[in-house]
C-alpha cells in the first residue's frame, strides 16, 4: 500500500511554523522556572535556608518566563520575525 501524497497547498507548513513559536515560548517559560528552581535549591543547600530561596527562585523564574512570554505574544508580527532570525 502506497502512502497518501502530500497536500497540494502549503498552508499546513505555515501553521507548523506559527505553532513552533508558541511551543518555543512554552519551553522557554518552563526552562526559566526550572533553572531558577535549581538555583534556589542549590543556594538553599549551600546557605541552609531551605526552602526559602527555592520558593523565591520559582517565583523569580515564573515572573521572568511570563514576562518573556507576554512580550513575545504581544509583539507585532513584523517584530516577531526579526527576533527569530
Q: Is 4 inside a domain boundary?
A: no
The reply to whether 60 falls in a domain is yes
Residue 43 resides in a domain: yes
pLDDT category at 80 given cuts 50, 70, 90 is: low
In a domain? residue 12:
no
Domain count, the chain: 1
- Reported as a single tens digit per residue, the pLDDT across 51-71 is 999 999 999 999 999 999 899
Does residue 13 belong to any structural domain of this protein?
no
Query: Does residue 17 fall inside a structural domain?
Result: no
35 is in which domain, residue-wise? 24-76
pLDDT confidence of residue 45:
95
For residue 3, is it within any domain? no
CA distance 15 to 31: 24
Does residue 9 sit within a domain? Answer: no
Amino acid at each position: 500500500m502506497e502512502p497518501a501524497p502530500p497536500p497540494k497547498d502549503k498552508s499546513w507548513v505555515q501553521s507548523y511554523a506559527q505553532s513552533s513559536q508558541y511551543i518555543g515560548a512554552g519551553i522557554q517559560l518552563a526552562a526559566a522556572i526550572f533553572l531558577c528552581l535549581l538555583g534556589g535549591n542549590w543556594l538553599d543547600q549551600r546557605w541552609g535556608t531551605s526552602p526559602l530561596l527555592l520558593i523565591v527562585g520559582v517565583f523569580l523564574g515564573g515572573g521572568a518566563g511570563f514576562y518573556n512570554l507576554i512580550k513575545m505574544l504581544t509583539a507585532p508580527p513584523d517584530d516577531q520575525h526579526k527576533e527569530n532570525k
